[in-house]
Amino acid sequence: MKKIIAIFVFLSVSVTMFAQNCYWVFFTDKNNTTFDPYSYFDAKAIERYQLNNLDLYDVSNYPVNERYTDAVNALTEENVGVSRWLNAQAVMATETEIEMVEQLPFVDRVQLIATEAALAQAPVATERENVEVLDATMKQVALMQGEKFQARNINGKGVRIAVFDGGFPDVDTHPAFKHLRDNHQIVKTWNFANKKENVYGYNSHGRMVLSCIAGIMNDTTMLGLAPGAEFLLARTEVEAEKLKEEVWWVQALEWADQNGAHIVSSSLGYGIDLHSLKDMDGKTSVVAKGASMAAAKGILVCTAMGNEGSDGDWKMMVTPADVEGVLSVGAVSSLETMESYSSFGPTADGRRKPNVVACGNDMVASGKGNFTYAQGTSFATPMTSGFAACVKQMHPEWTATQLLEEIEKSANHYPYYDYAFGYGVPQAGYFTDGPKAAKHSFDLMEDENYLYIVPVNPYENLKVFYNYQNGDGSINDYFVKKFLTDKIVTSKSSFRIDKSDLENGQTVNIWYNDQYAKYVVGKDKVAAADSVVRENVTISKGDFGCGSSNKKPSNTIYTHKKKKYSGNLVLNASFMVPSMWTPTGNIHQAQRVSRSFSFSYVNNWQLAKVYGLGFRIGFGSSWYALQDYTDPKYGTPALPLGPDPNSDMDVYIKKHNLKTSQFDLELFQRFTLARLSTTSLYLETGVFGDWITGSRLKTRTLVDDRKHTFMERHYFREGLNKLDCGVRLRIGFTKYCALYGQYRITPILKNGIDLPKWEVGIQIF
SS (H, E, C) 408-462: HHHECCCCCCECCCECCCECCHHHHCCCCCCCCCEEEEECCCEEEEEECCCCCCC
Mean pLDDT of 428-448: 88
Residue 181 has pLDDT above 90, yes or no: yes
Amino acid type, 60: S
Q: Range with the lowest mean pLDDT among 326-340, 367-381, 703-717, 739-753?
A: 703-717
Residue 580 has pLDDT above 80, yes or no: no
Question: CB under 8 Å to 445, separation ≥6 — which residues?
Answer: 451, 452, 454, 494, 539, 540, 544
Report the Cα 384 to chain-centroid distance in Å. 23
**Most distant CA pair in the chain: distance in Å?**
119
Residue 638 has pLDDT above 80, yes or no: no
Q: Which of 76-85, 270-279, 611-620, 686-695 has the highest mean pLDDT?
A: 76-85
Give the whole-angstrom CA distance, residue 330 versus residue 353.
Answer: 9
Residue 628 has pLDDT above 80, yes or no: no
Angle separating helix axes 286-296 and 242-258, nearest 10 degrees: 10
Give the whole-angstrom CA distance, residue 647 versus residue 642.
Answer: 14
Q: Range with the lowest mean pLDDT among 96-100, 183-187, 196-200, 565-569?
A: 565-569
Q: Range with the lowest mean pLDDT among 115-119, 380-384, 470-474, 627-631?
A: 627-631
Give the whole-angstrom CA distance, residue 434 versus residue 351.
Answer: 28
Give strand pairing partners of 239: none
Architecture of domain 442-561: Sandwich (2.60)
For residue 553, report the phi and psi dihedrals to the nearest 5 degrees.
-70, 145
* C-alpha dist (Å) from residue 394 to 152, 234, 487, 687: 10, 26, 47, 67
- Taking residue 285's Cβ as centre, other Cβ atoms within 10 Å add up to 23
Amino acid type, 344: F
Rg of the chain (C-alpha set) = 35
**How does residue 572 score in pLDDT terms, banded at 50, 70 and 90?**
confident
634 contacts 665 by C-beta, under 8 angstroms: no
Residue 400 has pLDDT above 90, yes or no: yes
Query: Which one, of 579, 706, 588, lies nearest residue 637 by Cα?
Result: 588
Query: pLDDT by residue (tens digit) across 243-291?
Result: 788 899 999 999 999 999 999 999 988 776 667 788 888 898 889 999 9
Q: Range with the lowest mean pLDDT among 564-568, 569-573, 703-707, 723-727?
A: 703-707
Mean pLDDT of 577-581: 54
Eight-class DSSP state of 262: S
The larger pLDDT score, comparing residue 716 to residue 423, is at 423
Strands (E), 60-130: 78-83, 88-93, 107-113, 117-119
Eight-class DSSP state of 765: -
Number of residues in the chain: 765
Give the whole-angstrom CA distance, residue 688 versus residue 727.
Answer: 6
Question: CB under 8 Å to 215, separation ≥6 — which residues?
Answer: 176, 177, 222, 223, 224, 227, 364, 365
Angle separating helix axes 205-214 and 377-394, nearest 10 degrees: 30
Question: CB under 8 Å to 3, separation ≥6 — which residues?
Answer: none
Give the whole-angstrom CA distance, residue 338 versus residue 27.
Answer: 45
Eight-class DSSP state of 114: -
According to the model, what pLDDT value does residue 499 have? 84
Q: What CATH code is assigned to 18-113? A: 3.30.70
Residue 425 has pLDDT above 80, yes or no: yes
According to the model, what pLDDT value does residue 125 have? 39
Give strand pairing partners of 679: none
According to the model, what pLDDT value does residue 251 have? 96
The larger pLDDT score, comparing residue 625 to residue 383, is at 383
Q: Range with the lowest mean pLDDT among 438-447, 513-522, 694-703?
A: 694-703
Q: Which of 199-213, 450-464, 472-486 has the highest mean pLDDT?
A: 199-213
Question: CB under 8 Å to 262, separation ≥6 — which residues?
Answer: 44, 48, 159, 160, 161, 299, 300, 389, 392, 400
**How does residue 75 score in pLDDT terms, banded at 50, 70 and 90?**
very high
Residue 327 has pLDDT above 50, yes or no: yes
The larger pLDDT score, comparing residue 505 to residue 670, is at 670
Query: pLDDT by residue (tens digit) across 18-37?
Result: 468 889 999 999 999 999 99
Residue 551 has pLDDT above 50, yes or no: no
According to the model, what pLDDT value does residue 436 have? 82
According to the model, what pLDDT value does residue 103 have? 95
**How are beta strands 515-520 and 216-217 bridged, if at all?**
unpaired
According to the model, what pLDDT value does residue 3 have? 46
Mean pLDDT of 716-743: 83
**How does residue 459 score in pLDDT terms, banded at 50, 70 and 90?**
low
Q: Is the pTM of this model over 0.85?
A: no
Average pLDDT, the chain: 80
H or E element at residue 731: strand 723-733
- Taking residue 243's Cβ as centre, other Cβ atoms within 10 Å add up to 18
**How does residue 533 score in pLDDT terms, banded at 50, 70 and 90?**
very low
Residue 591 has pLDDT above 80, yes or no: no
Query: pLDDT by residue (tens digit) across 132-143?
Result: 544 445 799 999
Query: pLDDT by residue (tens digit) across 642-666?
Result: 344 454 444 455 666 778 888 999 9
Query: pLDDT by residue (tens digit) across 478-496?
Result: 988 876 544 433 445 567 8
Eight-class DSSP state of 683: E
Query: Percentage of the chain surpassing pLDDT 90?
Result: 48
According to the model, what pLDDT value does residue 1 have? 45
Residue 12 in 3-state DSSP? helix
Mean pLDDT of 586-604: 69
Exposed, middle or buried by CB within 10 Å (0-12, 13-18, 19+), for 234? buried
Q: Give 119-131+141-394+401-432's CATH code, choosing from 3.40.50.200, 3.20.20.80, 3.40.50.10320, 1.10.730.10.
A: 3.40.50.200
According to the model, what pLDDT value does residue 442 have? 87
